[in-house]
Structure 1
Amino acid sequence: MLTGTVTAEKLVSVLDEELPQEPHQDDDPEVIDYYEDFIVRDFKASLYIQGSIDKSLVESVNDIRKAGGKMDKLTELFNRQLTHPHYDVVSQIHNTRMSQGSPVMDHVIKMINLFEKLETMGTAFDLLYKMDVILNSLPRSYASFQMSYKISERQLELTKLANALV
């Protein structure tokens, strides 16, 4: 919505433009007009930005003079919040438990998908860790399989682990 408003008002260019040097009284009138026009457009864009964001974020951009700088700061803040989905996936991995009686293949595939989702976010775990997490997420009825698997010190690919559990 904000980008649409800034674009509709023909203010989007101000986000990428450098702040022109403040002119002197004896400068060319076109230079003075360009500077004044830039200041007005930048001020309007800044107002649109500050008016369209949550009040809790206004303070973080209040001291930034240029609208482009405000947008850069907001981008930085929102990129920082991308750690939340990462945390959510890690929490899902560690809190997912297979229900007694549900298909083990479905459970292992769900876990594999969660690990793959984390990998697309830039976090990868080694195979042994993934296997430990998956084995620990199984119900007690798989305790003998877990014990024999750990004693054997084998490392199966996760899909082969799923087949071995079936």
Structure 2
Amino acid sequence: ATRDESQQVNAELAEQDAADLYKAGEGRWGTEELAFNVVLAKRSYSQLRATFQAYEKVCGKDIEESIRSETSGDLEKAYLTIVSCAKDCPGYFATLLHKSMKGGGTDEETLIRILVTRSESDLPAIKEKFQQMYKESLAEAVRSDTSGDFRKLLLALLH
């Protein structure tokens, strides 16, 4: 599946997709995953946001609530991740970064994966969202949770 990367939103398509998602999930016994797969995997994030708004009007509940009631396991987690990224991608990654550093240990793999893969795209937006959400800079969090050459590398990625 190739996701549409355009920022343009087609309101009619959003309404049609919302109706299709409703018919495939809440509007029937059982769930027709193919409809969810097509919409969630192929539509741009801008288009998905419009679809989620239309879905709430059609169904009377948000898409996450429907996904939780209609799916489970890895599929539920995958759908909810797509929805979370579509709604607020920087917020999604800021949350993952925070989780990777809170508590007793550090999830180094998550830290590295996000900082490396997002460094040339939306890392500035993630840093800004992290600051808003957790009232400290991402660099401060990394500085207090890591050490040595690993810390130096991560801080270099952040600047």
Q: Under a length normalisation based on structure 1, what TM-score does the superposition of the two structures give?
A: 0.29
Tell me which structure has the larger Cα radius of gyration.
1
Q: Under a length normalisation based on structure 2, what TM-score does the superposition of the two structures give?
A: 0.30
